[in-house]
Chains A and B, each alone.
Chain A
Amino acid sequence: MNASQMQALLPVLILSLTAVVLMIQASIKRDQKLAWIISALGFLCTLWATGYAREFAQPVTILLQVDSWSLFFSALVVFAALVTLVLSRKSFSPEGERKEEYYLLLVLSVLGAVVLIQSSHMVSLLLGMELMGVALYAMIAFPEKGLLPLEAAIKYLVLSACASAILLFGFALLYAATGQLSYVGIGQQAATAYLSNPLLVMAGTAMVISGLAFKLSVVPFHMWTPDVYQGAPTPVTGFLATVSKGAVFVALTRFYMDAQLYQYQPLITALSIIAVASMLIGNLLALRQEDIKRLLAYSSIAHFGYLLVVLITLTGTGMASDAVTFYLAAYILTSLAAFAVIARVAGEDQHKTQIAAFEGLFWRDKIQATALTVAMLSFAGIPLTAGFMAKFYVVSLAIQGSYWFLLSALVIGSAIAIYYYLRIIFSMSKTSVIDSVGDIGVQDYSANLTALLLTALILMLGSWPQPFITFAGGL
């Protein structure tokens, strides 16, 4: 590796360095404030490095592909991790509990996500996904009290291991069919291999996509989502919903494009079925939820259904990759805003995450209530928010490619979704409970600042998207 490749790899190197420094710091003197500062500095340096590395965009060995697209998503993921770090500072930290390991695991998990985003080879795909996942299991089970986090972690661990096994089997079948492990190599060989042995290629691809779809929790691989969302500490849930799912979707998109999977009709049919099922089932099941974390779990299933529609319309060129960029950016910002408010208002209390506990929030904490309202409107796709522009992209792509079946499922799903998103807003604006529920406590400036920043970003993406669209088009 030469100097230029090292510079392209700078974000990964800085994250690894942060992890090593955290280890050394914990061995010299345990201090969770210092660990927090080191992690924050590490993430800020990584954010800077993702900008710096753009000038050195190139493939680094056969494993990683550093280009402006992957660097943008790396920056987005690191930003989400920074927000998670701010949210985690106060939450689940009873007296005497040591949290240095939590910060170390967070840094390692982000490292895994960045590797996953930049991967161009089966080996780095698997290693990145496992690194992200292994750190996440421990983060989910991190609080020492309560059984729900442990239950969530075990569910996630066992099912993830299953998904990884299926993914590996898929790799093996694709390797048997094509003799290649890099995405591009598979793309070159798969078409000829498909003619001689279609079953092998299709089974391999289907297994790889199933393994990734598990992490994205699209129907029918969605069973774990509500329990894990509910059981995990709220900042970790936010991290799981944004970083983990976003990174896996970027990896899936890259694999789909580089391996030229869009030329296989059976695969498109399968993906369409998954997308329609996710949009309908995710939204229908969200209707009856009383816990806001479970509700967001089902809503995320539906949102990845919408994203799969974008994936299906991808045919190698044009607007579709912009749509992935825009939709993922909007989804990650909106989810972060929602989970930031939940972490602040409800903390780790299982009763306070009930939707009923949010009644009258407008009179108790205006800033947080406004942020949650904007996040819900953005999820629902109401104009002037980022979610509207994102959905606009999806709909126009579906119309251009005349995918009417997908489009009708999307419209029905979105219509159902408006009900439960608005239900939360109505609940917050109820006046009947103002006297019975007290103030939520002292002002927390870092939480208010985070909520305001995310709200501003969502509104800006939705009402003045032009700079971002130009930027995304240049990626």
Chain B
Amino acid sequence: MLEITLFYIAATVALVATILAMTRANAIHALIYLIVSLLAVAVIFYLIGAPFAAALEIVIYAGAIMVLFVFVIMMLNLGEKGDAREKQWLSPAVWAGPALLAVVLFAELLYVISSANGPVSTGVVSAKQVGLSLFGPYVLAVEIASMLLLAGLVGSFHLGRRYLDRNTPEEEKSQRGAE
């Protein structure tokens, strides 16, 4: 019964955060809600006995990918306008919602860790088991996934290059001036 309640709390947090992420007009607000949503999914993984998947979810999705997004958006916001906008992002109205949802998840996690027998009812999937099946029966899937990444890399390289090859307006102006 307990696990079910915990699961539903985390699932509700995930749903609410995802819906808010989709409806925000500002990219940074949306991304922060998306991070909370990914954290909630990680908690669900943890509750159903897959701590390794939970850790990966946090390290890769919420950590690496989302932080990369936030960095890029913040880097593009240079100049005084950007400063003003970043100040606006630091107002409580922006971070209060995501923080509240994250606190719910954190409380849930604390409760699970402090309770003696843990929430798991069906056994834990360890990192070793994940590795064994990835490089055992699913070894071809790993190889095909590597090709999938290659396709994504080459495709995004080609699509991005049309903007890299072209000179920026400032450079073109200076070239014309030199002539």
A: which residues have CB within 8 A of B?
Answer: 1, 16, 19, 23, 60-64, 101-102, 104-105, 108-109, 111-112, 115, 123-124, 127-128, 130-131, 134-135, 137-138, 141-142, 144
Contact = CB atoms under 8 A, between A and B. Distances in A.
Q: Which 7 A-B pairs have the closest CB atoms?
A: A138-B155, A135-B151, A108-B151, A127-B144, A101-B158, A131-B148, A134-B151
B159 A134 contact: no
A130 to B, nearest CB: 6
A128 B140 CA distance: 11
A63 B150 contact: no
B176 interface: no
A127 B155 CA distance: 17
Given A134-B152, A137-B155, A144-B162, A108 B147 contact: yes
Nearest to B144: A127
B151 A61 contact: no
Contacts of B130: none
Interface residues of B, number: 20
Contact of B141 (A111, A112, A127): A127
A115 B140 CA distance: 10
B151 A60 contact: no
Chain B interface helix/strand/loop/mixed: helix
B107 interface: no
Contacts of B151: 105, 108-109, 112, 131, 134-135, 138
Given A19-B150, A123-B138, A131 B155 contact: no
Nearest to A108: B151
Max chain A CB contacts within 10 Å: which of B143, B157, B159?
B159
Contacts of B139: 1, 61
Interface of B: 137-141, 143-145, 147-148, 150-152, 154-159, 162
A101 B157 contact: yes
A131 B145 CA distance: 8
B155 A130 contact: no
10 contacts: A61-B138, A62-B137, A101-B154, A105-B158, A134-B148, A135-B151, A138-B151, A138-B154, A138-B156, A144-B162
A131 B144 contact: yes
Contacts of B162: 144
B148 A63 contact: no
Nearest to A15: B147
A135 B159 CA distance: 12
Contact of B144 (A60, A128, A137, A141): A128
Contacts of B137: 61-63
B75 to A, nearest CB: 24
Contact of B140 (A63, A135, A137, A138): A63
A63 B147 contact: no
Nearest to A96: B165
Given A111-B147, A138-B158, 4 more contacts: A102-B158, A112-B148, A134-B155, A144-B162
B159 A105 contact: no
Given A19-B147, A108-B150, A127-B148, A61 B157 contact: no
Given A19-B147, A108-B147, A144-B162, A63 B154 contact: no
Max chain A CB contacts within 10 Å: which of B137, B145, B151?
B151
Nearest to A142: B158
B167 to A, nearest CB: 15
B150 A124 contact: no
A146 to B, nearest CB: 12
B140 A60 contact: yes
Contacts of A63: 137-138, 140-141
A127 B150 CA distance: 13
B154 A16 contact: no
Given A63-B140, A134-B151, A127 B157 contact: no
A330 to B, nearest CB: 30
A105 to B, nearest CB: 6
A3 B148 CA distance: 25
Contacts of B141: 63, 123-124, 127
A465 B138 CA distance: 41
A115 B139 CA distance: 14
Contact of B159 (A102, A128, A131, A141): A141
A111 to B, nearest CB: 6
Contacts of B152: 134
Contacts of A16: 143, 147
B16 to A, nearest CB: 19
A272 B152 CA distance: 37
Contacts of B143: 16
A109 B152 CA distance: 11
A125 to B, nearest CB: 11
Nearest to A64: B140
Contacts of B148: 112, 127, 130-131, 134
B164 to A, nearest CB: 12
Nearest to B136: A61
A260 B43 CA distance: 37
Contacts of B140: 60-61, 63-64, 124
